[in-house]
Chains A and B, each alone.
Chain A
Amino acid sequence: MGELKLCCLGLSHKTAPVSVREKFSFKGEELEKGLLKLNSLETVEECMILSTCNRVEIYFTTRSNTPFKEVIDFLTETKETDIEEINNFFYRKVDSEAVRHGFYVASSLDSLVVGEPQIVGQFKDAFSLAKELGTIGTVLCRFCETALKVSKRVRTETGISKNAVSISFAAVELAKKIFGELKGTSVAIIGAGEMAELAVKHLITNGASKVLVVNRTLEKAKKLAEEFGGIPYPLTELQKVLKVADIVISSTGAPSYVITKDLIKPILKERTGKPLFLIDIAVPRDIEPQVNDLDGIYLYDIDDLQQVVEANIKERLKEAEVAKKIIEEYVERFLKWLRELEVAPLIAELKKKAEEIRKEVLAKRLYKLGLTPEQQEEVDNITRIIVNKLLHQPITKVKKKATEESTSQVVQIFREIFGLGKE
């Protein structure tokens, strides 16, 4: 029997295409069955499975010298595949690497979109399911709790989840930079389209209260207006809409500009200096670029928004480096705890043995002295202090050594020196 190892066998969007990820994913009942089966394996002590659309990872602890063998066998069996495929797509991580990886995953450093918050929930789910089925114990429990703690710290102390990394969120973010709270703002959508509708929905959830739907025909406008609870307008009344809207999202299939400088200029006065945020996500573009030169008008086309998104992603990657430093602290602390956990039973055993010897000797010899009860108690205390002082050094040393060197070797030597029984 070797020392306790925390291992991770997994694949992610970084190592495997979606077809492979699909194949190996565990869902619902399959996940429960898989977990229980994993747990019943001889070499696996504790285990949990994190299965999302971007990754499938098995975290487990084992004392086996070939830690991954049985788990890989389990995978080939349940997923009906050969070892070749597993070797191709799965990564294997042990101890510090596994712990670090787990913390990165929980902090969303390993995600497709770095900093996206979903993974925290998925990690929590995997943790609570494993807890519910009783497949995890002291080590993985502590591992998960630490991972979630780290993830929270990373989220609050770094800018990793700040700044939008999708087009529609970038639009909302920019709108907030102009209007502050979006409460009470009115949004106009010209044309239709998935991205435009998504942006409108985001704006509404962020407080936009009035929706104006403009379409080439009033019929279509009415249909879409119903969906958002908005007011429909035909394209001919566009100018009227532009007079009152704060945010305009344009996404028509028109071959030429729908909103021109000449169209906006005359209504500027009626807008009484209110800023107007124009978002043009149509290709070819709907809004004449020169509109941006007008006072108080901010025009963003799809490329501009894309640029914002890219800049934000870069920013997040920079923040990820800060996060890694925070995580490293926790990895170190966790490994130290894990190693000390290994020597805990040893220390208990040593203390027990010492106490037994002390009691035995006292029982044999103490009565010969013919002491008063007070004196007997004093001798009892003295011997206890001597034993504690003698043991103090080896106990602290073995704890330290266990974190520095191969634990099983340290344990073995310790056992031999103090004549403790074999495991």
Chain B
Amino acid sequence: MEPRVLNLTTAVLYAISSLHYLLYLISKKEKLATVGLYSSRFGFLTNLFAVILLVAKSGGEGLFTPKGALLVFSLTLVSVFLYFSTKHRLTLSGAFIMPWATIFSLIAALSSGKPSQEFPVGIIGVIHIASAFLGYSSFMFSALLSLIYLISEKHLKKKRFSVFFFKLPSLTKLETIIYSSITLGFIFITVSMFVGAVWSERLFGSYWSWHPKQVATLISWFTYAGILHLYLYGNWKGKRLCYLSILGFSIIMLNFLGVNLLSKRDIHSFKG
């Protein structure tokens, strides 16, 4: 099958899932959430196959194209969502996550997947990009959950409740999940950095070259290390953790958009 067909199917399934999750926010029908969950699961499968097919067709280099990178991003985002929502019954978060996965997979369908990479990617490159995006996705998930936390907190403080409020999980639970997804993201980004350094050595002969991407990632890494430290030892709990988590993700966004997409043609630019 064509990767394009799988990619489009993924986008459609994610769109169906987003629509149902968004409707679930304003309605009381539990069935909507069930449809949302199942279409996101099927979407996950087609997304996975789309990535595998892309690699099979054009090798690991295929992942370092706009199409490849976005497909990996939507895949990792949905896996993080499915992992946490199955473990903690976080149905509501679907409305916040799935629209992003839809957008990513849709843009992926419209972009080129033709590699212009001169470097051999191999297994090490695949691990590097996969763990990097798993890290980004975990951070994105925690930032979106932080948003939900802040909304819920505001409801409780202002004492005004909408239909939406009753579906929100408790503050304590949200906080725990925000913390664990930040930890998870931190582990992935660390792995990605180490693997990246090893790969850099193989490609260019040096582990560290103060490349803008390396610097930006190091800054993000220290940011999240700081956040975890503040949470565990500095009592930056509750609302403060949420602000930190959103701040951390903004830095990641700057890192990703600024360095990857605006930089010139190199391995991190994901240009076709």
- Interface residue ranges, A against B (CB under 8 Å): 159, 162-163, 174, 176-181, 269, 272-275, 292, 295-296, 298, 300, 304, 307-308, 311
Contacts and interface: CB of A to CB of B under 8 A. Distances in A.
14 contacts: A162-B166, A176-B170, A177-B165, A178-B171, A179-B170, A179-B171, A180-B169, A180-B173, A272-B235, A273-B235, A273-B236, A275-B238, A295-B238, A298-B157
Contact of A178 (B28, B172, B237): B172
B170 A308 contact: no
B239 A296 contact: yes
A88 B169 CA distance: 50
Contact of B240 (A174, A273, A308): A273
A43 B55 CA distance: 83
A324 to B, nearest CB: 16
Contacts of A180: 169-173
Contacts of B171: 177-180, 275
Nearest to A307: B159
A222 to B, nearest CB: 32
Contacts of B239: 295-296
Contacts of A307: 159
Given A269-B235, A273-B235, A275-B238, A298 B172 contact: no
Interface in B222-260: 235-240
Contact of A177 (B152, B235, B237, B238): B152
Nearest to B158: A292
A174 B159 CA distance: 10
A393 to B, nearest CB: 42
Nearest to B168: A177
A178 B238 CA distance: 11
Contacts of B240: 273, 295
Q: Which 4 A-B pairs have the closest CB atoms?
A: A273-B237, A180-B170, A180-B173, A273-B235
Contacts of A174: 156
Interface residues of B, number: 20
Given A177-B156, A179-B170, A180-B170, A159 B238 contact: no
B161 interface: yes
A178 B166 contact: no
A304 B161 CA distance: 11
Nearest to A175: B170
Given A177-B168, A304-B159, 14 more contacts: A162-B166, A174-B156, A177-B156, A177-B165, A179-B172, A180-B171, A180-B172, A180-B173, A273-B238, A274-B237, A275-B238, A295-B240, A296-B237, A298-B157
Nearest to A304: B159
Contact of B156 (A162, A178, A272, A274): A178
A162 B237 CA distance: 31
Given A269-B235, A273-B235, A178 B170 contact: yes
B25 to A, nearest CB: 15
Contacts of A162: 166
A222 B238 CA distance: 35
A181 B176 CA distance: 13
Contacts of B159: 300, 304, 307-308
B22 to A, nearest CB: 20
B152 to A, nearest CB: 7
A154 B169 CA distance: 24
Contacts of A298: 156-157
Given A178-B156, A296-B238, A275 B28 contact: no
Nearest to B170: A180
A163 B162 CA distance: 12
Contacts of A269: 235
Contacts of B168: 177
A154 to B, nearest CB: 14
A353 to B, nearest CB: 51
Q: Which of B157, B170, B239, B240 has the most CB of A within 10 A?
A: B170
Contacts of A176: 170
Q: Most chain-A CB neighbours within 10 Å: which of B156, B159, B169?
A: B159
A272 B237 contact: yes
A265 B37 CA distance: 44
Nearest to A173: B166
Contacts of B156: 174, 177-178, 298
Given A159-B28, A269-B235, A275 B172 contact: yes
Contacts of A304: 159
A311 B161 contact: yes
Nearest to A179: B172
B156 to A, nearest CB: 5
A209 to B, nearest CB: 15
Contacts of A296: 237-239
Interface string B140-181: 000000000000100011010100011011111100000000
A181 B88 CA distance: 13
A178 B174 CA distance: 10
A179 B240 CA distance: 17
A181 to B, nearest CB: 8
Contacts of B170: 176-181
A165 B224 CA distance: 44
